[in-house]
Amino acid sequence: MREKIEAALEKIRPALQADGGDIELVDVTKDGVVRVRLVGACAGCPMSTITLAFGIERELKKQVPGVTRVEPV
């Protein structure tokens, strides 16, 4: 599952990098919780919660069966 998540994040990453940010995969739990770290401009952005929930989490759930949620660390 981790490899599929990494591949999905590679598709999402250019949009984040266009705004000066990026994302790092930290961990994937057995129950499908994906833990990520937003870096660069994304780390301090007030919109990062929305980006995480409605952008990243939605895409990961769509592309990788078994993902239950995405959490920032």
Provide the CATH number for the domain around residue 44: 3.30.300.130
CA distances from 29 to 16, 34, 42 (A): 24, 7, 23
Q: How confident is the model at residue 73, as a pLDDT? A: 93
- Quote the pLDDT of residue 20: 95
Sites in the chain below the pLDDT cut of 70: none
The pLDDT value recorded for residue 17 is 96
Indicate the pTM of the whole model. 0.92
Q: Give pLDDT, residue 14.
A: 96
Residues 6+ apart with CB under 8 A from 66: 1, 32
Strands 21-28 and 33-40 turn out to be antiparallel
The number of folded domains in the chain is 1
Task: Decide: helix, strand or coil at residue 8.
Answer: helix
> In this predicted structure, what is the pLDDT of residue 44?
86
What residues make up the domain containing 60? 2-72
